[in-house]
Amino acid sequence: MRIGLIGCGAIGTVLAEAIEEIEKVEALYVWDVKRNREERLLKFSKVQRADLDQIVDSCDLVVEASSQQVVRDYVPIILENGLDVLIMSVGALASKDLFERINSAAVRTGSHIHVPSGAICGIDGVKAVKRYGIEKVSLKTTKSPNSITPPEGYLEGMGIDLAEITEPTVIFKGNAADAVKLFPKNINVAATLAIAGIGFERTAVEIVVDPDTKRNRHEVRVEGEFGGFTAVTENVPSPKNPQTSFLAALAAIAKLREMVDNFHIGT
C-alpha cells in the first residue's frame, strides 16, 4: 500500500511514525498547506515530500490529519479520483452539502471513506444498535482550560473568563451540529458519534471546562429499544498538542493497521 498524508502537525507526526512500522506500507507521501512542516517527517525512511497531484497519482489511500477546511477543499477531489480517504477532522461532515458530495463521489468512483472512532469508546455499540431503535444519544465532554479553543468573543458573551474558572463550568449545551462548528479543533468526537448514530441535530452535546482535570473525559450515553449503555473515556492529551486526545491518533493507527491486516475484530 502507498499512503498519502495531508497534514504534518502533531497528529500527522504520530501517524507517520506508526506507518513507518507497518510492513505492508511501502511509501508515505506527505503534504501540508504549510510546506515547512513536511521537513519534520523526512527522518522516516518511507516518507517522500509530494504535492497534491503526486499524491493522487501515486497513492491507494489518503489520510487527512489537518483541518476541517482541508476536508472541504481536498477530500472531494481525492475521492473523485478514485482514492480511499481516512478523515480525522470529521467535524467538517456536519455540512450536509459536503457529506452528500463526498458520498456521491465515493459511490461514483468506488472509493471508500474511513472515519476512525477517534477519542471515544462505544462507537462499536452505536453502530451495532443503530437500526434497532436508538432514541437518545448524548455526549458530555470535560476538558481543562488549555485543551479548549472557543471562538473569539464566545465566552466573553457568556461572562466567562477561562483564566478565572475555579470549578467545573458548562460552556456549551446544544447539539452536535452546533458543537463542531463552534469548537472545530476540540469536539470531533461529537461528529463521529453523530454520524455513527442518529445524526448531528439529534445528538446532544455538553462541554465542560474543569481547571482541576488533567484528562479529556468523554461520557457517551445511548438509550433505545435495545436497552442502553454508557461509555466513559478518560484520555491523556496528546504530548505534542494538548488540544487533541492521544487516543484519537491511536484510533487512526489501529484503523490503518486493520486495513492491511487479514484478521479483523469488532464491527
> Would you please indicate which residues are annotated as catalytic (active-site) residues?
218
Convert 195-241 into a string of H (helix), E (strand) and C (coil): HHCCCCCCEEEEEEECCCCCCEEEEEEEEECCEEEEEEEEECEECCE
Place of cell 510546506: 35
Residue among 203, 30, 22, 195 at smallest CA distance from 99: 195
Helices (H), 36-135: 52-58, 68-80, 96-109, 123-129
Of the candidates 110, 90, 88, which has an alpha carbon nearest to the alpha carbon of residue 12? 88
- Number of Cβ within a 10 Å radius of residue 225: 10
Q: What are phi and psi of 128, to 5 degrees?
A: -65, -35
Q: Are 235 and 189 in contact (CB under 8 A)?
A: no
Task: Tell me the C-alpha distance between 244 and 1, whole Å.
Answer: 28
Is the separation of the CB atoms in 68 and 89 below 8 Å? yes
Residue 233 CA: distances (Å) to CA of 121, 139, 219: 6, 11, 6
The residues, any chain, with a CB within 8 Å of residue 198's CB and separated by 6 or more, are 130, 134, 137
Hey, what's the cell of 33? 498547506
